[in-house]
Structure 1
Amino acid sequence: MSLVLEYTIKGLGSIIDRLAGGSRLYSMYITKPKPVILEAATGFGANLGIVLRFATRLGGIVYSVDIGGPQVSLARIAYRSYIEKGVLVIERGDLRNLHYPNDFFDYAINHTTMHHIDRVDLAISEHWRTLKSNGILIVIDLNPHTLTRAIHSLKLLRESKENVINETNKRFRILERGEDKLSYYIIAVKET
């Protein structure tokens, strides 16, 4: 069961990756040996498989967090082999109030998640708090466009994007920003 589920989720991840381009950004920025990576939020695990590919190549570990119990349970089944190898921890948690210590992660990845968070300021602040000095924040999310309005309101996506940009600019130094019709991304570094 878990192998079938893992392959199904990885297939979805491949489609999402082609649309939102996480692999390209991860290959450019996730380069540190033995990285400790926050993958926020687990969702149905599509991006998690892509992040794991980069983390395991570098000898790292991924902590994947989601507020939803069903998502966490499903991901634990799908990625059981990674958990058993000790390269993945999947936990239930709130991105607005993470239980990790200060300066814990080398990378924080937020893929198509921010528009689901009502207090983006708290989530960005928690990413800043839990990232090490010179840690990298990677945000990829949906752009407000007619193609994305089938799944979310344009107003919600517009407000979320504006909040993500403003809050990231307050706390981080922006390394790169970009967008296309479906998604936008921000790469930022924590400087202390």
Structure 2
Amino acid sequence: MVQSHRYEPEFVEPLKNLTVPVGREATFSCVVSHLGGYRVGWVKADTKAIQAIHEHVITHNPRVSVSHSDHSTWFLHIRNVQEEDRGTYMCQINTDPMKSEMGYLEIVVPPDIIDEDSSGDVMVPEGGTVELTCRARGYPDPEITWKREDRQEIVFREASGIRNKGKKHSQYHP
């Protein structure tokens, strides 16, 4: 009597983390072997929201779709990614116990200066004091660096009266 060996499904490679600019498409790729009659599912792990099961999209998010290649590579596509899409996604195989791989979707937002919260042109007599404000948004939080147009060093006078030359880096304050 010859026994047939039934292979359990398994992941061929880990689910990769993705970093995608806001507005672009993110595609997770889940590679499995010996899937047989089992099904692949996609879940947004932090909210436990089911995205798709096998070839069927479950979420009501119209930007989400799924596809596959030869029943071995399964894709979760998220079009026009938004900041709320950021988080951990899980590719699952419905074995008992369930098998899963997780990957993180990072959404980056290009830095942008907020004109209405930033200083405009200011004229000050030589030796005078001026306070300039620059606010910016983005993710990760942008770093603001001050420079003179003529590339000369900026002189900063501290409250103690001490003068410092050079570049001053500002902290981000939301």
TM-score range for the pair, normalised by the shorter chain length: under 0.3
**TM-score normalised according to structure 1 size:** 0.23
Higher relative strand content:
2
Q: Which has the larger radius of gyration?
A: 2
**TM-score normalised according to structure 2 size:** 0.25
